[in-house]
Each structure stands twice: as structure tokens, then as C-alpha cells.
Amino acid sequence: MRYLPLNDDDRRAMLERIGVSSIDDLFRDVPASAREPQFDLPLHAGESEVERMLSRFALANTGAGECAFFCGAGAYRHHVPASVDYLIQRSEFLTSYTPYQPEISQGTLQTLFEFQTQVAAITAMEIANASMYDGSTGAAEAVLMAHRVTGRNRAVLSGNLHPHYADTIRTMAGLAGEIVVTPPVPGSADEISEQIDNNTSCVVVQNPDVFGSIRDLAPLAQVAHSKGALLVVVFTEAVSLGLVRPPGAMGADIVAGEGQSLGNALNFGGPYVGLFASRERFVRQMPGRLAGQTADVEGRRGFVLTLSAREQHIRREKATSNICTNSGLCALAFTIHLSLLGETGLRKLARLNHARAVTLAESLVAIPEVELATPAFFNEFTLRLPRPAAEVVETLAGRGVLAGVPASRLFPSHTGCENLLIVAATETNAESDIDLYRDELGGVLAR
Amino acid sequence: MNVQDKPASGNRAASPGGTYSGDHALQHEEPLIFERGRTDVSGVDIPDVEIGPRHLAGLERVGEIGIPGLSEPEAIRHYVRLSQLNAAIDTGFYPLGSCTMKHNPRLGEKVARFAGFADVHPLQPQRTVQGALALIAELARWLKELTGMPAVAMTPRAGAHGELCGIIAIRAALENRGDKRPIILVPESAHGTNPATAALCGFSVKSIKATGEGRVDLASLTQALSSQVAALMLTNPNTSGLFERDMIAIADALHAAGAYFYCDGANFNAIMGRVKPGDLGVDAMHINLHKTFSTPHGGGGPGAGPVVFSERLAPFAPLPLLVEDDRGFRLIEDSREAQPASPFGRMAAFHGQMGMFVRALAYMMSHGRDGLRQASGDAVLSANYILASLKDVISAPYDGSCMHEALFDDTFLKGTSITTLDVAKRLIDEGFHPMTVYFPLTVHGAMLVEPTESESKRTLDRFIAVMRGLAAEAISGDPAGFKQAPVFAPRRRLDETAAARNPVLRWKP
Amino acid sequence: MDEIRFTESHEWLRMENGIATVGISRYAAEQLGDVVHIELPVPGKTLEKGAEAAVVESVKAASEIYAPVSGEVTAANRDLATGLGRISTEPEEAWLFRIRMSNPSEAERLMTRDQYRDYLKGL
């Protein structure tokens, strides 16, 4: 077996030192009835064989690059510079553990410190942590954190929050208090302010929301703060922060975002990277790891994991979260991509995304009976079609267009969503993709 | 903003070994990007397009964002240099107990990047992702077969997230039978995630003691059981590196009391391909794909923590459910379609850590059932070899053989001023990543050594020789080499107290 | 005369005019290492004997401080936040909070310095 360095001579010598005659003897604590079960699994296989077997699975999917691609709703297809993927495969990044021994982990720790600074800057918040699993679990952690900060336990969720996020919050925070979700209102602000009462710890809103709409959250922040509640802002498209007013400038107290758009592939949904930022005074209620700056005994700057007494390995049942493994390597990809972009690149990228989406939206609404349901948007918008969107998407998939995500897939129990189609455009869409989409959609609807 | 690299001072540092540059041959001092980059520089060429205000509703971002950019060569050098400051499995022995730092085959990296996996959107029409769904189903089959359990939830994003999934399922099952039980039992030696998870699910945690030989005390467990106990969370092999011999009796006692048995699968590497936890009466167990099935740890993640379930808990597994019918694979994403099952909800957006699934399946297929059995055998053999080769000079708290981790304590340091931490820091100077220290909490000055199956006998022998040397030096009366260590690493010991008292969590101009 | 008393969970307390001043013992401070953060009770809060009153954190551990006696918190030592090192260097001066005792007899059952010294020997 190519991954196992020991040979039978080694094993014999080692067994001799241990004083047993076989490896099986080392398993004598296993109850007799559970020893040596049968496994209905194949024997080992060579690299080329495994690659061939896995290729078969891969080839049975339609890759986004094979068609005109417009899916978003929480995951976005962006171009990732080749150097990002090269750098994250450096052995010393890829095959290291959590940086518990800072003297020999400065590479990971410094990149995390840089990551935290970047995340704080793009969200316009004071501090950020070293990553969560993804946006959805980060949003749930934000609710739990708001409970701790306010001493209250009722969370009000916007109906325009991605339903998977709302469901994740229900799962992870539902045991800690009440969760209220308002009905979705595509294209405009939902009536969330009215739901805030004196036991509300936070309101959770997404911007751009699941339909792609952008809005000014400052008035909502004002209402929330006047009732002692926090504003939790979620985003799923990090590139929007290069163009759209950031959460910190609209009164956000905690921000939980999905960072997949920068540095990370679609990956059929994971692994992704949760961005998590907040006000500095809440830092001891934050979940997850934090890298902090300090100095070594010779006075040289260095970085360590800090404020660990919040975390499960020290605080156990009183920890701020049970999170241990996070999304370190995805955070690394994010920070490298953002370092390459810089401020100038991020702004240009965001403008290009918006421009593509505007072009697409304008060419699609020129089709009879197709309406734009979301007048204000970044790179994603919702169309109202004259017939159920799911059928249209299925038909277009057969014609080389992955046309977006039908709202009915995300909101199966809400009537009124059947004809809504959530469409995203990014810098990866060529003009010809947009033309193909317009022609095919026009053709399908004309029939 | 835009603070440039400080130029070399032109003064050679006064200390021995000082240089004009501050660098030392291959070891470079690397500034932060905020000190090196400029906000007007970008390493990505993007067309500068004009946009109109029509669809932005007056919400355009104004003011400086505050993030510099680097040209591509500068970026590559920055991150390559930073990488060189890290220890990694690829560069050296990394016997970090509880973490299973085994070799990460590059085949996994290659196949996970196939466009058919990496460039596929989670919400594409399902008939365009039949291969991805089939792969998840195939991995699920391997996990169920290896654990002897009938069901698996694939979506948890890491081990602790898997624990959460398992405990919520237990809660749902109890609620389903109208049973409110407020307590979860957790051994004192458990990973911190176990009590943290139980607390997150609204349970109170009751600690149970271990026997003098480092295993769960069946008598205290039985005594602690009542109609108030929802479950026991137990790691097996346990955090002391020992197999819980009484697993079946523990399971029987729990079930007789109406409680569930949650097994923390963090140490599954010791028994994969040899023991099926389902045969031991387990109701739920998460599997850390990033440990046992070798998806890279990546400096802290990402991982994946699928949870296998017994028949009793299977109906409560979270959405989405993956089913196969004559039209192919299909995801059930709406609980109304899940009947007769009653999923408790959703663990995260989308359908799981696909990138980890591909790598884990590549690893499993490569080993096959015979290779996995040999791997767990070699992991256990290597740990016992270290234990047998060191226990005459380094104190081990428990007698007998171990599983895949060798546990030592600090009794051998008694009378010296040297601590477990000093030993760990000295190992850094010796070119090894230290073992896990001060865990489990039940053993004083614990040192938990997990060699995994990936090390040659030559590496194990070098480690043993170094540890024997350190043990002899420790009792010789001169602690200096321990107290000053590390002296050869990129940094000496860092002031963690200052870092925590006055947290500096981001760069500021 | 030394009016100090100790608990089995390593708090000390001094009594004056029905008010108990509470801190952590030298032994506890040594076990904990350098303190990096404390959370103190809000004055006015009523605590039962044995209730969690404060938290003292070091880099590697967090330790709950329990109320050694029942009563109402009358003061918290906010000045400590800027001099956390005092908890290690002069633990019996670095008080954490004060309680107006509702049941002073509770204090009588705590250990004297000699008893505490013997108690530590047995650990």
C-alpha cells in the first residue's frame, strides 16, 4: 500500500519490542463479539484506477464552465487567479494543523491576522474572527452571540434571508430561544421592524437579500437599537462589498457573511468560509478563533491564537461556541485573492459584476411578460416569469443555459414564489452567454 | 495606509548572528500586506467599466475600504515566505494527539479539482449533478459499511458540527416520544467540544469519573443513569488512547435506562476496517473525514463531520435527504416530502462538504478494506512501539497497551523545574512538531503522542532517541535547554499574556 | 488578628462590619497563571453561597469564582482591570468583590489559614 511506510520486517521488529506476537494482539480490548467483522467493500486500488473511478462521477455532472451559467442564491461563480490555488497547496499551509504552537505556525497566524483585518475592513466593522464553517452556520452563531450580548433570547429573521440560513439558525439557535421569521417579500423590505419587541436580541437581515435586492439598513438599525436589540447583517456575495454600502456603515452590530466568492470554487456547496465580524466591545462573546499580535521574548513581533478562554477546549460547557475545526484553508484562499485584488481590484470587480447583471437584466426584461421583481440589486436579481420558473430552468438546462435558481426550490411552502427566478451574473459571463440566455428564454416563453 | 517596507537599517543587529537585513538565509522576516501593499496596486487585471446609478438605489459604497493590493510576484513571494514559517506533516513528524496528522495524498487534491466536482453549483437542476449525488451516496455507503450503522447525515461541516447534529437528533427522538431529559453525561477526559455541544443543545452536563486504568467506570455510570439522562457522549478509543472495553455493557445500560449512546468518532482511525461501532451498540457517531480519511487540515480546516445513526435515530436525520429511484438520485429538501421520516431541520446551507467528500472517497478507494485495516493496525502498532520504547524513562499513567495514541504524564519531571510545556518547546528545536500537551485534562501534564500509520520506523526511532535524550537531560539538573526553547524556530516563545490582556486583533495604520 | 477565611474552592474572604471582601488564594493564583481578564459581579446583585460570582481567566484556563457566603454584592474592584498582574503578585490584596452577608454564620464554617494550609497539603 503506497501510503504505508512500514514493511513486514519493521512490523516484526516493533512487535518484538512491544512484546506481542501480532498487531491483532493489540486489539484484545475489543469485545470478542465485535472483532473482525466482514466489510462489503473493495480491496485497495492504484492511483490511476481510483482516478478513473472518480472521473466517472465527475463526468456525470454539468460543470458551470460547460454552459452559460447564471446560478447564485448563496454561491457564486467567480474567476479565481491561478496563483491562489497554487499558494494554498503549499505543503506548509495545506498540511499543518490549527496553529497551537505559535513559534512554528507564524505563517498561518500572520495570514489569519491579515484575513481578520481585511474582513473587518470590507465589512466596515471593528473586528473579525479567523473564520466560521460558512455563512449559514456563522449566521446561527451570530444569533447565539446576540443572545449572550443582550441577555435576551428572541431572534427576528427577515423572510428575505436565504431559507437555508433561516433553517440553519432554527437548528442551531432554536434550542436557545424563540425564532421568528417574517414572510418573504421579493423586491422590497419586509415588515420586520414591527416584530422587534423588548425581548428581541437581534434582527437578522441579508443584504443583498436572497432575491438580490439591496436596501438601506440604517432605519432598521435605528429601530432595533432603540429597543435594545442588535442588528445582524448577513451577506452571501462578498464581492458586493466592493460597490455596495457595507454593513458597518449602516449600523450593523454583528456581520455573518459567506466568503466563498473570493478564492473559493463552487464545490457543489462546500467547503466554504464564514466571515464573522462585530463591534470590538463584544469580542469576549465572539465564537471561533482569533489571531492576535504580540511579541516573542526577544521583542520580535509575532502572532498567537488569543482570547482562547472563550473556546470549548478551555471553557467546555460554558464556551461561546462548540466550534473547533473552522475553514482555515478557505480563509487563506479568500485572503490571498483579496490581497491580489486590493482595494482597486475589488472595486473594479464589483463594478464589472454589477454592469454584467444590469446588461443581463435589461436584455431579459425586454422579453414579453418577463418582469424585474427587484429594482435595486448588485449582481443578482429576481425575474417574474409568466410560468413556473422550475420548468423553465429544466428546459433551458437542456439547451446549454443554467438559468438561475427557481425561488420555489428555496421557498417550497410559499405560494407566490412559483414564477420567480433568481438570476446571478458575474465577471465570468461573456456577452455571448447573455445573448444565448436571452434567445433561449425568449424561445421557451414564446412557445 | 500605504506604509512601505522599512528599508534595511544599515545597522547590523548587535546580537550574535545579527544581519543587516534582519533575515537569516532562508528564514525571512515578512511584513504584513498592509505594510507592503498599496491600495492603488492590483495583481488582477480587470476591465474598468462605467456603471450607472439606476439599480443601486443610492447605496454606493463611499470612502476608502483600506485594503492594499499586491502584484502577482509580490503576492507569491509574500505567501510562500509565510508558508515557510509553518511546521507541516509534509515537512516533519507531527505527532499531535487527537488530531490524526496523517499523510495527505495529493491524489485527493487532484480529483477534488475536477471541474465536475469543483465547478458545480449546489442549486443546479438535479439532473445536471447526478454524478455529484452518486458520489455522496457512494461515500455514504462506505461510511455506513465501515461503521455498521444503517444511516448517515452527510451535511455537518466538521466534527463539532457533527456532534451537534447527533445530539439534536437525540433531542428530537426524545421529544418524539414525549420524554424530556435534561442531562447529558460526559467523561471528565472528553474533548471540550462534547460538553460545549451538549450545552448548546440546552442540556446540562454531568461529568463522570474514570477508573484508575483510564476508562469509564461502569459502576459510576450506572449510578448516574436515571430517567433524567438523555445520552452519554463517549469517545472510543477514548482520549487517553484506550479502547473502552465495556462498550457493549455501557450501551446496554444506557438503553435499559432509555438513554442514547453518542460516540465521538474523533479516534476512529484506531479501529477503521477492524471494528464496527454499530456492533457495540452506538446510536450516533460523527466521523472526522479530515482526520480518519485524510482530507488536509489546512491550518485549522475545513473538515467534514458526517454522522452515522442507528435505526432508532435515523428518522430524525437532518435535511437534505438523498434518495435513489428509477429516475436517479434526488435530494429531498422539504420536510413535507420526507415522510415517514421526520428530519429535525437543516445543519447548514446546501448539501455538505463536497470537496472533502471527494478527497475522503479517493483515500478510501485507494486503501480498500484491506488497506484501511492495515492502516489502523500500523497506527496502533506505531503508538505502542513509542509507548514501549519510552515508558521506562517517561512516565505513562496507565498500564498495558494503548490504541493509536501513547499517553504520558509529567511524573518523570518531578523535582526538576521543567514542565510539559518546556518539553514541547524543546521538541520544536529538535525538528519535531510537539505532541498534544495538557490534554486530556484528567492526566497531570499530559503528553499525548499520535504517530499515525504514516511514519517510517526510522522516523519513529529518531523520535524515540530524541525523547530518551530529553528525558535524561531533564533529570540531569540543568533545565536551561528546556526553559529557553525554542531557539531555532522563526520565533522564540511568544507573550500570550500580553496578547490576551490587550488584544490587537487587526492591523491599524 | 488574621480574620481571613478560605474555601475549598480557593477563595479567601475577610469580614468587616458584616461585609465580606472576597479574592482568590495564592494557591489558586499560582494554578491559574497570569490573569488576563476578569468578569466581576454587578453591585446590587444577590448571590447565594456557592453561586457563580465572578470569572478569572488566564491564557490557558478560566476559573469560576463562587460566592463563599450569601448576600448582596456591594462593590466590585473595577481598578483591577488595569492591574491584573496584582492577582498573581499579591493575591490576598487584590480583592474582587464585596458582599453584605445575609447569613454571617456561613463564614464561620470556612477554613482558617492553618486549616487551609493543611487542606492544601492533602491535595
Whether residue A317 is found in the same domain as residue A362: no
Reported ipTM: 0.98
Tell me what pLDDT residue C110 has. Answer: 93
Q: Minimal Cα–Cα distance from C65 to chain A, Å?
A: 14
Which chains touch B (3+ CB pairs under 8 A)?
Answer: A, C
Q: Which residue of C has its CA nearest to B438?
A: C60
CA neighbor of B104 nearest in space, from B306, B293, B276: B293
| CA pair distance A48, B362, nearest whole angstrom | 11
Which of A309, A337, A365 is where one domain is finished? A337
Instruction: Inform me whether the C-beta atom of residue A121 falls under 8 Å from chain B C-beta atoms.
Output: yes
| CA pair distance B259, A139, nearest whole angstrom | 32
Tell me what pLDDT residue A94 has. Answer: 98
Which contiguous run of DSSP H or E holds residue A421? Answer: strand A420-424
Low-confidence residues of chain C, pLDDT below 70? 1-2
Whether residue A307 is found in the same domain as residue A402: no
Q: How far apart are the first and last CA of chain C?
A: 27
Tell me what pLDDT residue C2 has. Answer: 59
Tell me what pLDDT residue B5 has. Answer: 43
Q: Select the residue from C32, C36, C39 to test the B interface by mutation, using most B Cβ atoms within 10 A.
A: C36
| CA pair distance B335, B184, nearest whole angstrom | 28
Q: Which residue of B has its CA nearest to A268?
A: B122
| CA pair distance A198, A154, nearest whole angstrom | 9
CA neighbor of A437 nearest in space, from A394, A390, A400, A398: A400
Question: Residue B13 pLDDT more than 70?
Answer: no
Beta pairing, strands C19-24 & C35-39 = unpaired
Three-point CA angle A321, A324, A329, nearest 5°: 125
Radius of gyration of chain A (CA): 25
Question: Does the domain spanning B108-363 belong to CATH 3.40.50.300?
Answer: no
| CA pair distance B138, B144, nearest whole angstrom | 10
Under a CB-based contact definition with an 8 Å cutoff, are residues B362 and A48 in contact?
Answer: no
Residue B399 DSSP SS3: coil
Q: Minimal Cα–Cα distance from B10 to chain A, Å?
A: 18
Confidence of residue B18 (pLDDT cuts 50, 70, 90): confident
Q: Is residue A13 part of a domain?
A: no
> Can you give the pLDDT of all 447 residues of chain A as single tens digits?
999 999 999 999 999 999 999 999 999 999 999 999 999 999 999 999 999 999 999 999 999 999 999 999 999 999 999 999 999 999 999 999 999 999 999 999 999 999 999 999 999 999 999 999 999 999 999 999 999 999 999 999 999 999 999 999 999 999 899 999 999 999 887 789 999 999 999 999 999 999 999 999 999 999 999 999 999 999 999 999 999 999 999 999 999 999 999 999 999 999 999 999 999 999 999 999 999 999 999 999 999 999 998 888 888 888 999 999 999 999 999 999 999 999 999 999 999 999 999 999 999 999 999 999 999 999 999 999 999 999 999 999 999 999 999 999 999 988 889 999 999 999 999 999 999 999 999 999 998
Q: Minimal Cα–Cα distance from B506 to chain A, Å?
A: 5
Q: Is residue A385 part of a domain?
A: yes
| Chain C environment of A305 (Cβ under 8 Å) | none
Q: Which residue of B has its CA nearest to A427?
A: B46
Whether residue A236 is found in the same domain as residue A169: yes
Q: What is the helix, strand, coil percentage profile of chain C, to 5?
A: 25, 35, 40
Q: Which residue from B438, B496, B500 is facing C37, i.e. has the nearest CB?
A: B500
Which chains touch C (3+ CB pairs under 8 A)?
Answer: A, B
Question: Residue B6 pLDDT more than 70?
Answer: no
Mean pLDDT score across all residues of chain C: 92
Span A189-239, pLDDT tens digits: 778 999 999 999 999 999 999 999 999 999 999 999 999 999 999 999 999
Q: What is the mean pLDDT of residues B196-219?
A: 93
Tell me what pLDDT residue B232 has. Answer: 98
Residues B496, A294: C-beta atoms closer than 8 Å: yes
Whether residue A330 is found in the same domain as residue A400: no
Q: Is residue A313 part of a domain?
A: yes
Residues A314, C61: C-beta atoms closer than 8 Å: yes
B 51-90 residues with CB below 8 A of A? 51-52, 54-62, 64-70, 72, 75-76, 78-80, 82-90
CATH topology of domain C5-121: OB fold (Dihydrolipoamide Acetyltransferase, E2P) (2.40.50)
Q: Is residue A397 part of a domain?
A: yes
Span A78-97, pLDDT tens digits: 999 999 999 999 999 999 99
| CA pair distance B408, A425, nearest whole angstrom | 57
| CA pair distance B41, A337, nearest whole angstrom | 13
Buried/exposed code over B23-42 (b: 16+ C-beta within 10 A; e: otherwise): eeeeebebbbbbebbbbebb
| Residues on B contacting C at a C-beta cutoff of 8 Å | 438, 496-497, 500-501
Whether residue A240 is found in the same domain as residue A100: yes
Amino acid identity of residue C97, one-letter, is F
Q: Where are the beta strands (DSSP E) in A92-250?
A: 127-128, 154-157, 178-181, 200-206, 230-235
Burial of A47 (0-12, 13-18, 19+ CB in 10 A): middle
Q: Select the residue from A339, A372, A379 to test the B interface by mutation, using most B Cβ atoms within 10 A.
A: A339
Q: Is residue A42 part of a domain?
A: no
Residues B438, C34: C-beta atoms closer than 8 Å: no
Number of domains in chain A: 2
Q: Select the residue from B337, B344, B494 to test the A interface by mutation, using most A Cβ atoms within 10 A.
A: B494
Question: Residue B438 pLDDT more than 90?
Answer: yes
Instruction: Inform me whether the C-beta atom of residue A211 falls under 8 Å from chain B C-beta atoms.
Output: no
Residues B130, A60: C-beta atoms closer than 8 Å: yes
Question: Residue B476 pLDDT more than 90?
Answer: yes
Q: Which residue of A has its CA nearest to B376?
A: A23
Q: Which residue from B67, B123, B157 is facing A343, i.e. has the nearest CB?
A: B67
- Domain ranges, residue A427: 64-79+343-446
| CA pair distance C12, C110, nearest whole angstrom | 9
Which chains touch A (3+ CB pairs under 8 A)?
Answer: B, C
Whether residue A277 is found in the same domain as residue A354: no
CATH number for the domain harbouring residue A440: 3.90.1150.10
B 146-185 residues with CB below 8 A of A? 146, 148, 157-161, 163-164, 168, 171
Span B383-431, pLDDT tens digits: 999 999 999 999 999 999 999 999 999 999 999 999 999 999 999 999 9
| CA pair distance B89, C16, nearest whole angstrom | 60
Question: Residue B7 pLDDT more than 70?
Answer: no
Q: Is residue A352 part of a domain?
A: yes
Tell me what pLDDT residue A415 has. Answer: 86
A 22-81 residues with CB below 8 A of B? 23-24, 26-31, 33-37, 39-47, 49-51, 53-66, 69, 71, 73-75, 77, 81
Confidence of residue B3 (pLDDT cuts 50, 70, 90): very low
Give the CA distances from residue B179 to residues B175, B182, B201, B262, B410, in Å, rounded to whole numbers and listed in that order: 5, 10, 15, 18, 45
Tell me what pLDDT residue C107 has. Answer: 87
Would you give the DSSP letter of residue A113? H
| Chain A environment of B110 (Cβ under 8 Å) | 51
Which CATH superfamily includes the segment(s) B370-498? Aspartate Aminotransferase, domain 1 (3.90.1150.10)
Q: Where are the domains of chain B?
A: 1-47+65-85, 108-363, 370-498
| Chain A environment of B87 (Cβ under 8 Å) | 92, 96, 101, 104-105
Residues C59, B438: C-beta atoms closer than 8 Å: no
Q: Minimal Cα–Cα distance from B122 to chain A, Å?
A: 4
Whether residue A441 is found in the same domain as residue A376: yes
Q: Is residue A35 part of a domain?
A: no
Whether residue A232 is found in the same domain as residue A144: yes
| CA pair distance B128, B125, nearest whole angstrom | 6
Which of A337, A365, A383 is where one domain is finished? A337
